[in-house]
Amino acid sequence: MITLENEAQPRSIQTQESIFIEEKAFRSRMVLVFGNITDAIASETVRRLLTLDAESNAPITMIISSPGGHLESGDVIHDVSRFVSSPVNMVGTGWVGSAATHLYLGAPRERRFCLPQTRFLIHQPSGGTGGAASDIALQAAEIIKARERIARVIARESGQPLERVLEDIEHDLWMSASEAVEYGLVSRIITRREELLHIDDL
């Protein structure tokens, strides 16, 4: 039977390594957002942002790789990224989709970056419907409101006309890194961390 090396390590060693990595990232003022956006992810991310902000007004770098998830959880991270005093640099990698794109837009355009292989996805929100007809009607109305709100955020942060955004999000719109720059989601593509160090001097 073949066993991965880290699976053979005692749980305590894995925990110590995990804590060490987390502390290292924290000291570097980096926040990692990976996987589906959930209430738990939003809570942990906000806690880190607030703690780092209380420690210093130096820039915070958030690295995002997520297919999306719960819209309101994305709202939380989006809003708190703007709420803190420290400037927040967003760095997309892997894929940044749906609710993850929404939270990514929490930074001003000049602080939105991505790595070369990143893909972005924008689309309208969706939700399950069920129950009484009146409940289904209410849910549909809320989805329409969310669609309008998301479109306005994308339009505001990308510089695209609202009418175009509303049309674009009717269906899944995938963008490569260069296409996301052209659309206005991303300021520029970077390949090295050092490219973030002097952003305030640009």
State the CB neighbour count (10 A cutoff) for residue 24: 10
How far, in Å, are 35, 76, 85, 134, 156 from residue 108 at the CA level? 23, 16, 13, 40, 10
Q: What angle do CA 43, 63, 21 make, to 5 degrees?
A: 80
How far from chain centre, in Å, is Cα 47?
15
Active site residue 78: no
Would you tell me the crossing angle of helices 71-83 and 39-55 to the nearest 10 degrees?
Answer: 10
Contacts of 89 (CB under 8 A, 6+ apart): 59, 60, 61, 62, 107, 111, 112, 113, 196, 199
Structure tokens at 24: 């290292």
The DSSP letter of residue 69 is B
Contacts of 25 (CB under 8 A, 6+ apart): 31, 32
Given the residues 70, 78, 102, 123, the one annotated as active site: 123
Give φ, ψ of 83 to 5 degrees: -70, -40
**Which are the catalytic amino acids?**
123
